[in-house]
Amino acid sequence: MNIVERFIEYIRVEKRYSPRTSALYESALGDFYAFQFPDREISGIAQQELLDALSTTAIRGFIAQGLEGGISPRTMNLKLSALSSFCTYLVSSSLLDSNPAKRVFRPKEGSRLPVFYTEGALEKYLAETPPDDAPFHKIRNRMMILVMYGTGMRRSEIVNLMEKNFDQGRKVFHIVGKGDKMREIPVPISICEEILLYLKRIKIEFPEGVDGKFFVTDKGKAVYPGFVDKVVKEELSGLEGFSGRKSPHVLRHSIATHLMNHGADLNSIKEMLGHSSLAATQVYTHTSFEQLKNTFLTAHPRAKKRR
């Protein structure tokens, strides 16, 4: 098994990346080495040659060739992320001294409006509260959706969330986000009440404890990124108002959009989401079509005359 195969096995088994993500990473590394060794198969290349090929210059050339060939900046950024993860793995394995991909500038992507779910669709879903005697997985799945939508947490933050991160007295979550930055997210009283009931259910379901984890699998083990993705997809698939992609990130987009539509200021949303700058938050300054329609019909002079 060569170093590429070992890395793919590592992210698939130990990191528990989804099959799709693992396949994307494997494809990206295959493309890079095909660029470096156009007439050779990876399986026939010695390990040292594979390592020597990982230079900042080579990676820059790979990204440039892809862009010149018409591949989108977003796709090339995904390939660069795969290369960077691979290099980080090699550094941790003492096979590289440093990560050369970190010195490669990412191609600028065109701005895209975020996808989001409607308030009505989410309210309808959350209004259906499972009974107290419902199976644990039903209560946990709904709680996971509620926390993601209610707080705007990232998937990684949901995976690492601990019971101690919930401050019942102050009604906030203490979160360690990207770059180990601490932030507090206020929690509405109604959600706090549901959280307390959920935490009591965990203690009943797993009397031996779950090591302080907030979200656990059906067997009381720690959840992982693919598990969270699966919960969102299973919970929202087939429901009215949830067309298109179903992912934790769309729930994050949704709460940011809804807060903006209800008049929340940009700085407050920035702090809640844990963005490092306002630039990342400004994408939510768009409005939903329904809000635009209502504003238009209310303000249009002809609409006023008709009334």
Digitized pLDDT (tens) for each residue of the chain, 307 residues in all: 899 999 999 999 998 888 889 999 999 999 999 999 998 998 899 999 999 999 999 999 999 999 999 899 989 999 999 999 999 999 999 999 999 999 998 888 765 555 788 889 999 999 999 998 999 999 999 999 999 999 999 999 999 999 999 999 999 999 988 778 899 999 999 899 999 999 999 999 999 999 999 999 999 999 999 999 999 999 999 888 887 789 998 898 889 888 888 888 888 888 888 887 776 676 666 555 555 556 555 665 655 554 4
Distances (CA, A) of 112 to 84, 109, 264: 24, 9, 21
How far, in Å, CA of 202 to CA of 150, rounded? 20
**94 contacts: CB under 8 Å, gap ≥ 6:** none
pLDDT at 307: 47
Q: Which long-range contacts (CB under 8 A, 24 or more apart) does 32-38 make?
A: 32/59, 32/62, 32/79, 32/83, 33/4, 35/61, 35/62, 35/65, 36/62
pLDDT at 265: 82
pLDDT at 253: 87
Catalytic annotation, residues: 154, 178, 249, 252, 275, 284
pLDDT at 111: 55
Give which of 79, 267, 274, 266 is closest to 160, Cα–Cα: 274
Structural domains of the chain, ranges and CATH numbers in brackets? 3-103 (1.10.150.130), 119-293 (1.10.443.10)
Give which of 283, 291, 269, 292 is closest to 115, Cα–Cα: 283
pLDDT at 295: 56
